[in-house]
């Protein structure tokens, strides 16, 4: 048993001694978007991480469609990241460049829409539908991480990407015969302008840093 414990300690010791950062995005709270991020230092200049967040509001819902605002909305994002730190001082800090991916799913339930039935021109017919989306984006990012003398750090991240795939599923088949003015499924897709498949990565983070990475690389 003692030998097994010793082997396990030797095997996991590089991981235990490495730098581990756990953070949350303060900016996300302003848009009903909540989540956590984790970052693992490969060395003093390179790291990989993942962010998971959940939203209860479509940021790009403009509320101008015929059926009003999007209600009963939920969204999940899984965002892996790679960062290369160009000015490290305390290990994995300072200015960085990197790349990221985004897997996003969203769902909006019981959305009301009105349309004109050609067989019964008056009054308008009201229906409801669920709309779900799935998309995957790739992009580049940059940012800066400030480390304190303690465990805390602060970070600003900005990235721009493009959705490689994006699918939309509407539960009510009657929407397929309607015009864009009567029902526009793109209004339910959470990307810029409801028609431009561009992704923005913007975060202001606060977090805790554990393990190595406090030594200067200069």
170 beta partners: 131
Is 137 inside any structural domain? yes
Which residues span the domain enclosing 31? 20-210
Q: Which of 199, 208, 157, 203 shows the shortest CA–CA distance to 28?
A: 203
Check pLDDT > 80 for residue 34. yes
Is 91 inside any structural domain? yes
CATH number, position 135: 2.40.160
83 beta partners: 47, 98
pLDDT, tens digit (0-9, with 9 covering 90-100), for 106-156: 888 887 777 777 777 667 777 888 888 898 999 999 999 998 888 899 999
Q: Going by C-beta distance under 8 Å and a sequence separation of 6 or more, which residues neighbour residue 159?
A: 98, 100, 139, 140, 141, 142, 199, 200, 201, 202
Q: What is the number of residues in the chain?
A: 218
Three-state secondary structure of 156-188: EEEEEEEEEEEEEEECCHHHHHCCCCCCCHHHH
Is 85 inside any structural domain? yes
Is 170 inside any structural domain? yes
Written as six digits, the tokens of 124 are 């308008």
Residue 67: predicted pLDDT: 46
pLDDT, tens digit (0-9, with 9 covering 90-100), for 171-208: 888 888 777 777 777 777 766 645 567 888 999 999 99
Is 61 inside any structural domain? yes
Number of domains forming the structure of the chain: 1
Residue 179: predicted pLDDT: 75
């Amino acid at each position: 048993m003692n030998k097994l414990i010793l082997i396990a300690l030797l095997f996991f010791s590089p991981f235990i001694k490495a730098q581990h950062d756990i953070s949350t995005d303060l900016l996300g709270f302003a848009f009903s978007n909540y989540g956590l991020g984790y970052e693992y230092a490969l060395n003093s200049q390179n790291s990989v991480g993942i962010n998971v967040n959940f939203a209860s509001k479509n940021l790009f819902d403009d509320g101008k469609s015929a059926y009003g605002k999007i209600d009963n909305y939920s969204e999940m994002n899984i965002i892996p990241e790679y960062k290369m730190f160009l000015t490290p001082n305390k290990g994995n800090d300072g200015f960085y460049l990197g790349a990221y991916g985004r897997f996003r799913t969203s769902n909006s339930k019981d959305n009301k829409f009105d349309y004109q039935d050609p067989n019964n021109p008056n009054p308008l017919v009201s229906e409801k539908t669920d709309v779900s989306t799935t998309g995957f984006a790739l992009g580049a990012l940059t940012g800066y991480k400030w480390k304190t003398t303690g465990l805390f750090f602060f970070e600003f991240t900005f990235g721009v990407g493009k959705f490689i795939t994006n699918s939309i599923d509407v539960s009510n088949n009657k929407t397929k015969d309607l015009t864009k003015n009567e029902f526009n499924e793109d209004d339910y897709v959470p990307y810029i302008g409801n028609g431009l498949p561009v992704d923005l990565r913007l975060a202001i983070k606060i977090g805790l840093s554990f393990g190595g990475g406090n030594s200067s690389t200069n």
